[in-house]
Structures are given as C-alpha cells and as structure tokens.
Amino acid sequence: MSKLASLRNALSSRPSHQLRSAQVGSLWASSHRFLSTEAGTDGASSGASLFQSSPDGLVYGRITGRVQNMLGKNMLKTDLIHHLEGSDLSFHDVKFDYNRVYFLTGALVQFPSQSSFENGHKQLRLKGGLFNLQKIDRSEWDIKSSYDGKAVLMEGIPFNATQDDLERFLSGCNYDSTSFQSVTRTERSDSDPIRIVMVRFPTQLDASHAYTSKNRSFCLNAPINMRILQ
C-alpha cells in the first residue's frame, strides 16, 4: 500500500485523486493476493499486474524532459510520435500536460501494448536520451484533457486589453468567442509579469491558420507571440 501510494505521489500532482485510487488499488492488490493459491506471489508481481489491469492491454506512460524537467516549447504531438516511432501511436494517444502558466511539463502517452512501451524506451535511448519515460496508471490518463491542437496561446497581451480588442486582434479567424481564458505569468529572470490568453478554435486547421497569419502582429501597440497548444 505504502509503496503504491508513494509511487503515485511521486509521479502525479493530484494527491487527492491518487489517494482514493491508491486505496482502491491496494484493496484490489490485497484481495488478489489472498485469492491466489500460489504461495510465492509477492508484492512486485501483483503490482505489475495491477498496472496492466486495464482490459485492453493498454499501457500508459509519462514522458518528461531530462534537463529542467521540461519538454521543448515547440514540440508537437507528431514530434513525440516521431520520437517514439515503432510504437504504433496515433494522434489521440498523446496528451500534453501543461501547468497553470502553460509551460509544457510532460506528456502522457497511451501505448497499445507492453511491447510498444518497451520499444518506446529503446527509441528514446536511441534519440539521445533527452527524455525519461515512466509508467503511470490509467486514471491519470483519463483525468487529463487535451487541447488537440485546437487552442492557441497568446502571450504578451497588454493588461488593458478588453475582449473586443482580442476579437479585433483575431479578426478573420474562426474562433470560439466564449473560450477566452486569461492568466498572468512572471518570467523567471526579470519579474515583469505578462498576460497570457488562451483561445479555442473549432478545428486544428483554424488554429494553425490563426497562428500563421496573426503571430507577432499587434494588439494595442504590443506584438503578440502565439503558440499552438497540443
């Protein structure tokens, strides 16, 4: 119980959820042990079987960067899939994990089988060992939602910009006008806070069209940097 709980706490950032699922998991593990007739089943194998308990054999992993714990700012889902080539992943098998100020902290990956997970390990080593791959539980995967390339982050919006100004900035683009979300972020070295606004689009193509045409154009005299959130 403690081993599983400590593992989960180390990996995730949502302690309340994990505690609940850890307790459930531990009950399952203990009952499994009691029910098994083999005398030599130790905790390790029951832990492994717990991870693979999802019915369709899917294995979940989390990829983090080795340096500064961050992945590249410009990484796309397809880039990650390309890194893990041979693991038979599709676009929907990857979810990017952003923190509150939209830094990319990691990626959750759904592998179709254990062998593709091993292959993922091998590929990451081949590609220079820049990333770490850890196994996680399915619950983490289910909780996380993905932007799917349909959201764009606008950085550097002036603080006195209203929604009208933002809509004027994005004129000509097909966006979802109810979806503006604003966040303030402080850069690490100089403590000048900047305002960040996230906006969603109906399709991925709309988002990339907005990025192509509007990146570094001006909103109230300030040039705005844009990023597509995967």
Q: Decide if residue 48 touches another protein (CB under 8 A).
A: no
Q: Near another protein by CB under 8 A, which window of 15-23, 70-78, 135-143, 192-200?
A: 70-78
Q: Decide if residue 27 touches another protein (CB under 8 A).
A: no
Distance CA 49, CA 205 (A): 41
Distance CA 177, CA 76 (A): 25
Q: Near another protein by CB under 8 A, which window of 29-37, 64-72, 139-147, 191-199?
A: 64-72
Q: Which is nearer to another protein, 74 or 221 (CB)?
A: 74
Q: Decide if residue 69 touches another protein (CB under 8 A).
A: no
Q: Near another protein by CB under 8 A, which window of 1-9, 33-41, 134-142, 201-209?
A: 201-209
Q: Which is nearer to another protein, 40 or 129 (CB)?
A: 129
Q: Decide if residue 211 touches another protein (CB under 8 A).
A: yes
Among 35, 39, 44, 67, binds another protein (CB under 8 A): 67
Find the helix or strand (DSSP H, E) in which 225 lies.
Answer: strand 225-229
Q: Near another protein by CB under 8 A, which window of 7-15, 38-46, 50-58, 68-76?
A: 68-76
Distance CA 175, CA 207 (A): 8
Q: Which is nearer to another protein, 31 or 78 (CB)?
A: 78
10 Å CB burial of residue 113 (0-12, 13-18, 19+) is middle
State residue 104 phi and psi, 5-degree precision: -80, 110
Question: Contact 225/156 with Cβ under 8 angstroms?
Answer: yes
Looking up tokens 């303030």, which residue turns up? 184
Counting every residue written for the chain, the total comes to: 230
Q: Which is nearer to another protein, 83 or 200 (CB)?
A: 83
Question: Contact 184/145 with Cβ under 8 angstroms?
Answer: no
Q: Decide if residue 122 touches another protein (CB under 8 A).
A: no
CB atoms within 10 A of CB 226: 21
Of the candidates 119, 93, 128, the residue with the CA atom closest to the CA atom of residue 107: 93
Question: Which stretches of the chain bind another protein, using CB under 8 A?
Answer: 67-68, 72-76, 78-79, 82-83, 85, 126-130, 164, 174, 177-178, 189, 203-206, 208-209, 211-213, 215-216, 225, 228
